[in-house]
Amino acid sequence: MVRVLNPFAFSLDRRESRFYELKTKPVYENGEYKVFRYADRWFVTCRKNLIVTETTGIPKDLIEVLVAGKEPADYSKHRYYRALEAYQDALLYAQNVGFKVEEIQM
């Protein structure tokens, strides 16, 4: 089991879902990013042990551009920048609550 920080819950001031307990192995991995099935059709993508996206599918294309560090040329620019922003937000929230940021070991 892995405990991950959910920055979206912090930004929405939701105390009950600030941390997720992930009990399965990743369904997709690329570089620092790991995607976990969180519910029936719900996935969370983590960079280290910080959630950067919550989606209804595995965002392989997004993860590929994040790993490459290249801004996409199409409509997905928003998703790219939002994932980067979520990571930065998560780092701040982690520091504020004393959450140790580390690689996920399964």
Q: Which residues of 35-45 are buried (b: 16+ CB within 10 A; e: fewer)?
A: bbbbeeeebbb
Q: Which two tokens stand for residue 58?
A: 């595995």
3 state DSSP class of 49: coil
pLDDT of amino acid 15: 74
- Measured between alpha carbons, how far is 35 from 104 in angstroms, rounded to an integer? 11
CA angle (25, 26, 32) in 5-degree steps: 130
pLDDT for position 94: 97
Can you give the pLDDT at residue 4?
A: 96
In tens digits, the chain (106 residues) has pLDDT values of: 899 999 998 877 777 789 999 988 999 999 999 999 988 889 999 999 999 999 999 999 999 999 999 888 887 889 999 999 999 999 999 999 999 999 998 7
Q: What is the pLDDT, as a whole number, of residue 3? A: 95
Q: 54, 8 in Cβ contact below 8 A?
A: yes
Q: What's the confidence (pLDDT) of residue 52? A: 97
Q: How far apart are CA 4 and CA 21, in angstroms?
A: 7
pLDDT at 10: 84
Cα dihedral value 89, 30, 54, 82, nearest 10: 40
pTM of the predicted structure, to 2 decimals: 0.91
